[in-house]
Amino acid sequence: MNGLIIHELTKKYFTDLGEIFDVIGCIAKNYNWMLSDYVCNIYPSTKIPKNEHYVWLTGSELINILRNHEIQFIWGVAAAYSENIKLEEVLSHPLPFADGNKAFWKSEITLQNPLSEIEIVPWDSSLLLVIAKSKELIKKLAEKYPNSDDLVEYNRLED
C-alpha cells in the first residue's frame, strides 16, 4: 500500500478536499465516493448533510460540490470505490473513520475497506493523509506537495 502525509496545501485553509480533487483531476470522476466520519466547517449541500454517518456520491457529484462550495473538512474519510462496486457491498464492511483511528500510524498501512482504491483523510484540520493502491497517484500528490512525507517511512521512524 502507498501513503502520504500532506502537511500543507496551497490554498487559504488547510483541509480543502477541493484542492486535492483539482490535483487528481479526472481520476476522481472514475469512482464513486463515500464520505464518512466527516466534520465540516459548513454543510452547504444537501448531498453532504450534517450528522449523517456517511454519504455516497459519484465522482462528478463530489467534484461539483467541492468546486462550488469552500468546505473545510476537519475530520473525515473520502474513500473511492470502483463504479462497478455497489453501495451494499461497501456497507458490508465497517465504515471508514478518522478520529481516533490508530491504524494510520502503524508501519504497515492499509485501506480501511478492502474494496476501496483511495482514502483521503482530513486529520483534525492539521494534515491530510492519502492512502492508495496506486503508486502513480501518490507520486502525483508528492510532486505537487514537496513538503509531504511518505506515510510508511514516517511510521517506521516513529516506531
* β-sheet bridge partners, residue 116: 81
Indicate the DSSP class of residue 17: H
The band of 157, judged by pLDDT with boundaries at 50, 70 and 90, is confident
Q: Is the dihedral of CA 113, 100, 29, 62 positive or negative?
A: positive
Q: pLDDT digit string (tens) for 40-95?
A: 999 988 999 999 999 999 999 999 999 999 899 999 999 999 999 999 999 999 99
Grid coordinates belonging to 21: 480533487
pTM: 0.95
Give rounded-to-5 percent helix, strand, coil for the chain: 30, 30, 40
Q: How many CB atoms lie within 10 A of CB 39?
A: 17
